[in-house]
Amino acid sequence: MSTSRSPAMSSPASSSSTSDAETLRRSRILKSKLYFDVPPSKVPVIYSSSYDIAFLGMEKLHPFDSSKWRRICGFLISDGALDKKCIVEPREASKDDLLVIHSESYLNSLKNSANVARIIEVPPVALLPNCLVEQKVLSPFRNQVGGTILAPKLAKEQGWAINVGGGFHHCSGGKGGGFCVYADISLCILYAFVWLNISRVMIIDLDAHQGNGHELDFADDRRVYILDMYNPGIYPFDYEARRYIDQKVEVASGTTTNEYLKKLDEALKVAGSKFDPELVVYNAGTDILDGDPLGRLKVSPDGIANRDEKVFRFARERNIPIVMLTSGGYMKSNARIIADSMINLSKKRLIDMGKNAT
Ligand SMILES: [Zn+2]
């Protein structure tokens, strides 16, 4: 896993090659088109129809609802909680953007359909010509990456931002896996360091799975504090990455709503006393939901809304900009639950989607 950590992040810039790499990274970030000004009439809810993956019926072979992102927005609009015109449409991350964290050799490995099939866990994708994989799978993911990278800018301006996609927390600079092809979380933080001139970021990763991607990327980087609450009995069993979690909260299979929320309350209290972030990146996977075949936890839909409310309260009460990513949880029911949670945040005045929630 040596390629997964860049020398610039794992040690002080002492050697000239390290500082060269850091200079190149900085110049790539500053040249990027992903940070653009958004008119004040927009709401910091980020989504584009190019997020969605659907092709040749193959998405039906995957146990995932690959149109989750479109359906979340659909519910928010049909419920009158969000105006379609107010949604922020991000740009697609370019190769230069991806090179900020990924190696050239990792990006080249995606030109092999079998590799992509392995990373996204859809074996038939291995049989498709790479141009189709590029267009129908990789490009949607890159659009979601563009959304995650833009989110901290909007959060800094408006206090919060929600990327309706993203949260690919199993991918590090050198390695993809578990449906995660690009390391959007690491990227958005590296961009925020440069563009927003900040140096303390807290990742609150509440997806059911351990966020081994960002953990490997920020292994020895003291600028990033990682609170990860995950089920240790499921994928990815990444024991190396576990060493890099600042605050580890393990929740065993079968953990119920009350137990889960109690642990979260305690965890947030500890996190708040240990670290004073200038940005919170909240990976809000909903695979903690009761019945999720992958997460194996037993949190109710109301419990998920409650969880999101606690994290938003944590950040908003301290005036820390917060970015939320939807990450894992791909049963048919998840889109509705995420939309309901956003509507709850709006009712509690923790976010403002431009329409008065009652
Ligand atoms: Zn997950």
**Cα 352 from Cα 83, distance rounded (Å):** 12
The mean pLDDT value for 130-144 works out to 95
Domain-located, residue 358: no
Provide the angle, in degrees to the nearest 10, between the axes of the packed helices 68-78 and 334-347. 40
Smallest CA-to-CA distance from 162 within 324, 316, 322, 354 is with 324
Say whether 102 is catalytic: no
Marked catalytic residue, from 102, 169, 170, 209: 170
> 229 C-alpha vs ligand 1 centroid, how far in Å?
11
Predicted TM-score of the model (pTM):
0.94
CATH of the domain at 173: 3.40.800.20
Domain-located, residue 228: yes
At residue 5, does pLDDT exceed 50?
no
Smallest CA-to-CA distance from 96 within 172, 34, 28 is with 28
> 27 C-alpha vs ligand 1 centroid, how far in Å?
33
Q: Which domain holds residue 308?
A: 41-49+64-347
Domain-located, residue 242: yes
Domain-located, residue 231: yes
The mean pLDDT value for 35-40 works out to 95
> 96 C-alpha vs ligand 1 centroid, how far in Å?
28
Q: Residues whose CB is under 5 A from ligand 1 (ion)?
A: 207-209, 285, 287, 328
Q: Are strands 247-250 and 279-283 parallel, antiparallel or unpaired?
A: unpaired
Does residue 182 contact residue 168 with C-beta atoms inside 8 Å? yes
If one counts the domains in the chain, the total is 1
Domain-located, residue 23: no
pLDDT band at 121 (very low <50, low <70, confident <90, very high): confident
Domain-located, residue 100: yes
Q: Are strands 322-325 and 160-163 parallel, antiparallel or unpaired?
A: parallel
Domain-located, residue 29: no
SS3 284: coil
> 163 C-alpha vs ligand 1 centroid, how far in Å?
16
**Cα 303 from Cα 290, distance rounded (Å):** 10
In this predicted model, what pLDDT tens digit does every residue of 50-95 receive, in sequence order? 999 876 666 666 667 888 999 999 999 999 999 999 999 999 999 9
Query: What is the four-CA torsion angle of 278, 73, 91, 108, rounded to 10 degrees?
Result: 90
Domain-located, residue 217: yes
In this predicted model, what pLDDT tens digit does every residue of 254-305 receive, in sequence order? 999 999 999 999 999 999 999 999 999 999 999 999 999 999 999 999 999 9
pLDDT band at 1 (very low <50, low <70, confident <90, very high): very low
In this predicted model, what pLDDT tens digit does every residue of 162-208 receive, in sequence order? 999 999 999 999 999 999 999 999 999 999 999 999 999 999 999 99
The mean pLDDT value for 133-140 works out to 95
